[in-house]
């Protein structure tokens, strides 16, 4: 799934925030190892990763800028998506009936994004299988509840 982010920004070094580190993988990790001397861990050829502590990320981003290397930093997308979903959920009882579907659809999109973010985290070994299963099961349960609400409001919108 990280490939999706990389595909979107082919010419850039892609960093993803993971806990107290910013992580780059694959060819980006190898490049950072060669250019900046960062420690690179490789599981096999070109299946590599580096981690930069959040306290040092600005230093290394400045070095990349001086080398005229483009980069993008994905920070906490999963957490931001959760907060957006929570915010949209809080709007549901406050808005008029005709506007509820709009917020339910926004929540649905957030849930789909969270599924993707979780798969990216699992594939890149940023979370273990157990944490993935716990999180995905909760998202699935929320999705079932949301699906019921969408059906209910879609049916009532037609009336």
pLDDT in tens, 66-114: 999 998 887 667 777 888 899 999 999 999 988 999 999 999 999 998 9
6 or 27: which carries more pLDDT confidence?
Answer: 27
| Look-up of token digits 């190892």 | 33
Would you state the structure tokens that stand for residue 102, as one six-digit string?
A: 């709009």
44 or 30: which carries more pLDDT confidence?
Answer: 30
The span from the CA of 10 to the CA of 7, in Å, is 5
pLDDT in tens, 119-141: 887 887 778 899 899 999 999 99
Residue 60 scores a pLDDT above 70: yes
Would you list the DSSP string of 66-103?
HTT--EEEE-SHHHHHHHHHHHHHHHGGGS-HHHHHHH
What lies within 8 Å, CB to CB, of 49 at 6+ separation is 23, 24, 25, 29, 40, 41, 124
Cα-flanking dihedrals φ and ψ of residue 55, to 5°? -75, -15
Residue 144 scores a pLDDT above 90: yes
Supply the pTM of this predicted model. Answer: 0.56
The span from the CA of 82 to the CA of 16, in Å, is 17
- Quickly state the pLDDT bin for 16 (edges 50, 70, 90): confident
Burial of 2 (0-12, 13-18, 19+ CB in 10 A): buried
- How would you list the strands of the sheet with 71-74, edge to edge? 41-44, 47-53, 21-25, 13-18, 71-74
- pLDDT at position 4: 65
Would you state the structure tokens that stand for residue 62, as one six-digit string?
A: 């400045």
Residue 159 scores a pLDDT above 70: no
């Amino acid at each position: 799934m990280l490939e999706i982010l990389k595909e979107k920004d082919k010419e850039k070094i892609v960093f993803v925030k993971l806990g107290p580190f910013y992580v780059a993988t694959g060819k980006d990790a190898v490049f950072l190892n060669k250019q900046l001397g960062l420690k690179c861990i490789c599981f096999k050829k070109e299946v590599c990763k580096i981690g930069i502590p959040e306290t040092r990320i600005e230093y290394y981003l400045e070095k990349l800028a001086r080398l005229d290397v483009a980069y993008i930093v994905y920070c906490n997308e999963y957490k931001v998506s959760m907060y957006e979903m929570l915010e949209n959920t809080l709007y549901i009882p406050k808005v008029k009936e005709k506007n509820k579907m709009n917020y339910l659809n926004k929540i649905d999109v957030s849930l789909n994004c969270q599924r993707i973010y979780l798969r990216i985290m699992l594939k890149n070994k940023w979370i273990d299988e157990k944490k993935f299963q716990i999180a995905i099961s909760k998202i699935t349960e929320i999705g079932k509840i949301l699906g019921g609400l969408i059906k209910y409001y879609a049916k009532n919108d037609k009336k």
